[in-house]
A = this chain, B = another copy of it.
């Protein structure tokens, strides 16, 4: 059995993706369901640092992440509040209020993940981004959250219309977690923060 890292999250979609991505680096992932009180801030890194601060004393490497969809046409909204907005507007509701809010505004979108790893009492941050556009209507049933309305740059399909492998190749989370995977293979200075 190879090395293992604990992933502090209560989101099954994120756990599945983190497992898929780190498996390629030979690392196994165990869930560590944690209910964080996240600070209100417009900064993913501050949220990740607050999560790491709670977990720093656990033994063995522990991984956290925070992700958000940032829409410049809406002043960066929903940003760090993406999970809350997905909860009240997403799923079967199809993000209708969000799509209406975007009418007539630029549809550019940036999906961003900050992953945080605490190992031997030290914290490391890794950033991943995926640029694209917001679809006019939700399409596809894969993934979770905003995947049915996010089309990565150079593609015609939404994340929810892609296989997990394809989504992870283009996704913010895939990009951040592959940095984590490379770091776990060869600990050195964090390659993004």
Closest to A104 in B: B100
Interface size class of A (residues with CB under 8 A): 20 to 34
Query: Across the interface, do B89 and A85 meet the contact criterion of CB distance under 8 Å?
Result: no
Chain B residues, Cβ within 8 Å of A84: 40, 42, 81
Majority secondary structure, A binding face? loop
Q: Would A40 and B42 count as touching, CB distance under 8 A?
A: no
Taking the complex as formed, is A119 at the interface, i.e. its CB lies under 8 A from any CB of chain B? no
State whether the Cβ of A37 lies closer than 8 Å to any Cβ in chain B.
Answer: yes
- Residue numbers in B under 8 Å from A37 (CB-CB): 39-41
Interface presence of A105 (CB below 8 A): yes
Q: How far is the CB of A5 from chain B (nearest CB, A)?
A: 25
Does A135 reach chain B (CB closer than 8 Å)?
no
User: What are 13 contact pairs spanning A and B, CB under 8 A?
Assistant: A38-B39, A38-B40, A39-B39, A42-B84, A74-B88, A74-B97, A75-B89, A76-B88, A77-B88, A77-B89, A97-B102, A100-B100, A100-B101
Q: Does A162 sit at the interface, judged by CB under 8 A?
A: no
Closest chain-B Cβ to A95's Cβ sits at a distance in Å of 10
- Residues of B close to A38: CB separation below 8 A: 39-40
